[in-house]
Amino acid sequence: MSEWINNADFIEADIIQWQESLWAKNNLTQKNMVVGNRVVTAEVLREDTATGFVTLRVLASSVSPSKGKKPIALPFDNGEQIRRARKTIEKSRPWRLPWSDENARALLIAERDAVKPGADTRQDTQK
């Protein structure tokens, strides 16, 4: 299997892996606390740039409870589609699998960056 690349800039068709914290309310203090972690490996299906959400298809998932805790969540099923905010995944510094042709991926990124959402592409001829 290929080596993972530490890269927060992921695009559609990338296979990424990240770790997310699992939170629960403490019964004594009524404050949220981390009670475990979930590692998710998923394929990026699409990104909604208007909302900042990414749709992913889970390829693998595992849950590890914090020391002395019972797991509070089950891993995702393989093939399950989930949505996450792009910034949430980026905060966890995701890893991605390299493409067989990284040059093709670089071209897709260049095309994506050339057409930024919300950018005014009209040229103002009046001054």
- Give 49-77 pLDDT, tens digit per residue: 899 999 999 999 999 887 766 767 889 99
Place 119 in a pLDDT band, splitting at 50, 70 and 90: low
Separation CA 20–CA 87 (nearest Å): 12
Separation CA 30–CA 25 (nearest Å): 6
Q: 84: which 2 tokens?
A: 């996450």
Separation CA 98–CA 24 (nearest Å): 35
* Per-residue pLDDT at 127: 44
* Sheet-wide strand order for 53-65: 5-6, 95-96, 15-25, 32-48, 53-65, 81-85
Q: Is 115 helix (H, G, I), strand (E, B) or coil?
A: coil
* Per-residue pLDDT at 81: 98
What pTM did the predictor assign? Answer: 0.80
- pLDDT over 60 at 37, yes or no: yes
- pLDDT over 70 at 42, yes or no: yes
Q: Are 34 and 21 in contact (CB under 8 A)?
A: yes
